[in-house]
Structure 1
């Protein structure tokens, strides 16, 4: 299993945080995996957060239950946002966040280009593979990441 795949929760995860979630795996290495729930919109927009109050309204997503004190992002504009780690195709994880925010506020970047998350999902080495084997997650090769 590599970064860039999507995981759909199965009924085994009903009545948990992960019920009806679609996750994009942004990082996978010998230490484990990191991903983001991509189908749960956060109830506030980024300009409702104190440090971004002068910006435009832009959607935030509930990335996962881990480290909900920080923002994370994925994007498909490495030409406009330097420093991101390639994940798959033209999708990158992270990069220069201040450049990304400037691009959002001047309408150079849209919700079709970037997705910002509060928190993330994390698994230690072998955990995610075990959850897939037990049937908690279904691997989906492709899903719409941006623009829905």
Structure 2
């Protein structure tokens, strides 16, 4: 695939349709940090686990907040993005009304009081990381398409395959046909 953009904090990385790395097959990754001199950190937006938030926080009374696998690094750590930056102290803006992290206890309180809904927040175990120069090399090898201007609602689509397809389609007609490639071309 052809990249015309440079990655930055708030960019999406869309994996090419036949990526062989099972950690990132048909992945959509939101870059949370990108420093050419320090490396890159992102969250896989479309790898939903079978767990819900209440599985790791028994005090959470609702089980409609799924957990996602944010990547293969530090899978014991919890990260989250949300749309309510003004309600969660310590969060910082990523892109167009979407915030990263903040006070987790405050977020859990908002959930238990029904002041925060699943379409406003997404939780992740682990993250995806790249050492200095590693992501640039993968981009040069056409493993990723960079998407810098996307509707932020994409990030909160729950179905993984739909998220990847909608993200590709939102890049325009040049990429829309790729969204319909079969997972296994020999079955076509």
Per the normalisation by structure 1, the TM-score is 0.91
Residue aligning to 2:123: 116
Deviation at 1:147, TM superposition (A): 4.4
Deviation at 1:18, TM superposition (A): 0.8
SS of residue matched to 1:8: strand
Counting only pairs closer than 5 Å after superposition, residues 1-148 of structure 1 correspond to structure 2 as 1-11=7-17, 13-29=19-35, 30-49=37-56, 52-55=57-60, 56-57=62-63, 58-141=65-148, 142=150, 144-148=154-158
Gaps of 5+ in 1: none
Contact preservation (8 Å) 1:27, 1:87: no
Deviation at 1:15, TM superposition (A): 4.8
Please state which structure has a larger fraction of its residues in strand: 1
Contact preservation (8 Å) 1:111, 1:147: no
Q: CA RMSD in A?
A: 1.5
- Computing the radius of gyration from Cα coordinates, the structure with the larger value is 2
SS of residue matched to 2:24: coil
Following TM superposition, the consecutive aligned residue runs of length 4 or more in structure 1 with deviations greater than 4 angstroms are: none
Deviation at 1:104, TM superposition (A): 1.4
Instruction: Measure, in 1, the Cα distance between the counterparts of 2:112 and 2:48.
Output: 19
Which stretch of structure 1 is more off in the superposition, 107-116 or 63-72? 107-116
Instruction: Measure, in 2, the Cα distance between the counterparts of 1:84 and 1:15.
Output: 31
